[in-house]
Amino acid sequence: MDNLKEGKKIDTAKLLDPEVVLHPQISKWRDAITVDLKLLNSLKDGQIQDTVFRSKDGKYELLAGARRYFHQKLLGTSWEDIPKKILDDVSDSRALMLAASENIFRKDFNPWEEARAIVSLTTGGFKPKDLAKQFGKSEGYIRSRMALMQLPEKIRDRFEKKDIPIGYAEPVKKLDKYEEAQKKLLEKIVEGMSNRYSGIDTIEEADAFVTTILKQIKDKEELLVKYGPCPKCNSKSIGEGWQNDQLKCGDCNYSWHKETKEPWEYYETKQKLQEMGIKVEEGPETLKLTPRDVASMVTQKAEEQERLTREEGETLPANFRSKATLLMLLEPMITGDNIQKLEVRDERIEIQLIEGFDVYFNGLRKDYADGVSKARIETSG
């Protein structure tokens, strides 16, 4: 014992009694068994629990207490003197459950050992919800352990080295078909460990990230099935543009119309021409206008210019003088018996009509300083 060092790997094959065999599954649950000096001292002091075996084919199969068993062998304890419990007529599935009940969730069982045990149990026919009930854990806890063993080895190593909290295993596992997305999630988790405001620092946030990514992937896959790859570079990395019916390639940045597959710039130009009444019959590489099209465009442009000129013509010149007398302006309104009330106050004349209307005209003031001001007579009946 004096030569034993804490943490040194134990050569279990050399210590195994001839009467004992290891269970092919249970023996794989644990990492390599290493020397635990504290356990050795407690065994020397007589603090020993029974090691559990089952009878099988004339041998004794080790189900629970492997660490105790091999540390007792390090102390030179014979098979006959090892405290043990031997079970008879135990089925394979029952053996797995007994071993799990004895081993799983013990303090010396790490998450990876738990994961291996749980996967063995589910492979043996046990359902996650039944295991959760059996071991007093949530079903989510059981599934997170299962997810560990389904991760790619290089990612599993990061969890095992504790670079990333083990609780993130299940959301990371959901992206195992999408390497880039999975890598991005891992980066966000690592970032969140040092800066919660810019990264992901809860399982809920990781789940939300996965949900968003999977929806984006699904949407892209549906677009690909419906509209095909990029017409220019044949890339499958397509997505919707910011305009209606526009698709855009994530690789070459080319954009086109969903249905017609026309280049987006050509499609937009064609739409504008058609709005002007010009029918486009040429393809995007040979777009041409006929003389009639050009004449139509010139006519429309001239009409537009004429309208603008007409509107600008309403502006009065700076030296404008009105030749209309007040009587000429008011006569159409005050003929007959349409006047109900008339008042003159200094420079202001107020006429109230029975039937009112508005008169809007350019003129009346003696001077127009800016050439824009206009006079207005408002009437009301």
Q: Which residues fall within 8 angstroms of residue 284, CB to CB, at 6 or more apart?
A: 262, 263, 266
Task: Identify the pLDDT of residue 291.
Answer: 55
Q: Which helix (H) or strand (E) holds 352?
A: strand 348-353
Residues 163 and 28 reside in one and the same domain: yes
Q: Bridge-partner residues for 85, per DSSP? A: 52
For the purposes of burial, counting CB atoms within 10 Å of the CB of 203, is it exposed (0-12), middle (13-18) or buried (19 or more)? middle
Residues 346 and 308 reside in one and the same domain: no
Residues 108 and 32 reside in one and the same domain: yes
Residues 22 and 127 reside in one and the same domain: yes
Torsion angles phi and psi, residue 363, rounded to 5: 140, 170
Please tell me the chain's helix, strand, coil percentages from 3-state DSSP, rounded to the nearest 5: 45, 15, 40
Q: Which amino acid is at 304?
A: E
For 292-327, give the DSSP string: HHHHHHHHHHHHHHHHHHHHHHTSPPTT------HH
In a domain, 1, yes or no: no
Task: Identify the pLDDT of residue 377.
Answer: 44
Contact 266, 287 (CB under 8 A): yes
Residues 307 and 353 reside in one and the same domain: no
Structure tokens at 118: 């749980």
In a domain, 251, yes or no: no
Residues 45 and 181 reside in one and the same domain: yes
How many domains are contained in the chain? 3
Residues 308 and 330 reside in one and the same domain: no
Low-confidence ranges of the chain (pLDDT < 50): 361-381
Structure confidence by residue, pLDDT tens digits, 141-175? 888 888 888 888 888 888 877 778 888 888 998 99
Single out the residue in 191, 216, 247 at which a domain terminates. Answer: 191
Single out the residue in 141, 163, 191 at which a domain terminates. Answer: 191
In a domain, 131, yes or no: yes
In a domain, 221, yes or no: no
Task: Identify the pLDDT of residue 265.
Answer: 85
Residues 64 and 180 reside in one and the same domain: yes
CATH number at residue 119: 1.10.10.2830
In angstroms, the Cα distances linking 30 to 34, 63, 96, 178 are: 11, 12, 14, 31
For 101-123, give the DSSP string: HHHTT-TT--HHHHHHHHHHHHH
In a domain, 80, yes or no: yes
Q: How many CB atoms lie within 10 A of CB 42?
A: 14
Structure tokens at 181: 């997305």
Task: Identify the pLDDT of residue 124.
Answer: 85
For the purposes of burial, counting CB atoms within 10 Å of the CB of 184, is it exposed (0-12), middle (13-18) or buried (19 or more)? middle
Task: Identify the pLDDT of residue 318.
Answer: 59
Q: Is 181 helix (H, G, I), strand (E, B) or coil?
A: helix
For the purposes of burial, counting CB atoms within 10 Å of the CB of 86, is it exposed (0-12), middle (13-18) or buried (19 or more)? middle
Q: Is 361 helix (H, G, I), strand (E, B) or coil?
A: strand
Q: Range of 284's domain?
A: 275-313
Residues 148 and 282 reside in one and the same domain: no
Residues 29 and 162 reside in one and the same domain: yes
Q: Which residues fall within 8 angstroms of residue 330, CB to CB, at 6 or more apart?
A: 351, 377
In a domain, 181, yes or no: yes
Residues 37 and 183 reside in one and the same domain: yes
Single out the residue in 191, 224, 248 at which a domain terminates. Answer: 191
Residues 30 and 167 reside in one and the same domain: yes
In a domain, 264, yes or no: no
In a domain, 57, yes or no: yes
User: What is the rounded CA–CA span in Å between residue 185 and residue 168?
Assistant: 10
Q: How many CB atoms lie within 10 A of CB 219?
A: 12
Angle formed by the axes of helices 92-103 and 111-123, nearest 10°: 160
